[in-house]
Amino acid sequence: MSPVVSDRMAVVIALLDGDRDRGANLPQTVPAKAAIALGVDGICAGLGTGPSGLVLSWGQEAVGVAMEDLQFTLGQGPGLDAAAGAPVLVPDLDAASARWPVFVPAAAELGVRAVFALPLRIGAISVGALLAHRAMAGPLVDGALADAFALADAVTLLLLHRESAGTGRAGSADDGPRPGWARPATYRAEVHQATGMISVQLGVSLAEALVRLRAYAYADGRLIAEVATDVVGRRLRFDDHDR
């Protein structure tokens, strides 16, 4: 086995073992280790499959977080498509402008040129997506795709264990915090609360209210979570606007 493949396998082992590998050759968080091993700039993962989008649950690298916020605001992107159940591999994001006409230019502003999204699955059921990105165009090489699928499987098990345990991290209560874990799934609760308020204000379904909220955020050049805060704080009412 080549040194590169050995390092990739070590990433998955470290993930399953709670990141106890403290060697000096790789950064000391599992998502950063995974990114280096797969030849990408960042990796994150989120849970969710419906129109409300993904809730970032693993990986806190800045560009990945920004892309998840974009997808959540715009309601489109590779992670959302992958969460529907099929891998989405885009070695050149410019070629996907017809598929995601709003997401692609926004991601380009973040310096993203390639994205690779894999579903998080339990059997045939998709529960979310893992999203990797890179500033240089080009496919995953040297077996990296197979290793990415193995990583997605491991992340799926850890995320579901974390959710079922009802904690903000995976593992038992006495083994310390795990690097790379994001905030609990409730951190976007304001968006759901705002959606309900807009539904009442406009007399529309929750699905239509979420579409209106996303459209307003996009038109104002803001994140959906920021607009939701204004709605919940009663600084913004949708029945006072034509948008």
Mark whether 55 and 173 lie in a shared domain. yes
Mark whether 173 and 98 lie in a shared domain. yes
Mark whether 50 and 121 lie in a shared domain. yes
Residue at a domain's end among 159, 183, 207: 183
Mark whether 31 and 110 lie in a shared domain. yes
Mark whether 231 and 156 lie in a shared domain. no
Among 98, 96, 141, CA closest to 115: 96
Under 8 Å between Cβ of 79 and 68: yes
C-alpha dist (Å) from residue 50 to 6, 82, 131, 233: 37, 12, 17, 26
Alpha helices in the chain (DSSP H): 3-16, 30-38, 62-74, 78-83, 103-109, 144-165, 189-202, 206-220, 224-232
* Cα distance between residue 175 and residue 67, in whole Å: 31
User: Residue 110: its pLDDT value, please?
Assistant: 94
Under 8 Å between Cβ of 158 and 128: no
Mark the ranges of the chain whose per-residue pLDDT is less than 70.
1-11, 13-28, 50-52, 162-188, 241-243
User: Residue 89: its pLDDT value, please?
Assistant: 97
User: Residue 174: its pLDDT value, please?
Assistant: 36
Mark whether 171 and 207 lie in a shared domain. no
Mark whether 166 and 195 lie in a shared domain. no
Mark whether 220 and 128 lie in a shared domain. no
Mark whether 128 and 196 lie in a shared domain. no
CATH number at residue 47: 3.30.450.40
User: Residue 16: its pLDDT value, please?
Assistant: 57
Mark whether 232 and 206 lie in a shared domain. yes
Domain range holding 27?
Answer: 3-183
User: Residue 175: its pLDDT value, please?
Assistant: 39
The string of pLDDT tens digits covering residues 115-163 is 999 999 988 888 899 999 999 999 998 789 999 999 999 888 888 776 6
> Can you give 151-220 as a three-state secondary structure string?
HHHHHHHHHHHHHHHCCCCCCCCCCCCCCCECCCHHHHHHHHHHHHHHHHHHCCCHHHHHHHHHHHHHHH
Mark whether 148 and 213 lie in a shared domain. no
Residue at a domain's end among 165, 183, 201: 183
User: Residue 242: its pLDDT value, please?
Assistant: 52
Domains held by the chain: number: 2
Mark whether 35 and 88 lie in a shared domain. yes
CATH number at residue 200: 1.10.10
Predicted model pTM? 0.74
Residue at a domain's end among 134, 153, 183: 183
Residues 6+ apart with CB under 8 A from 215: 243
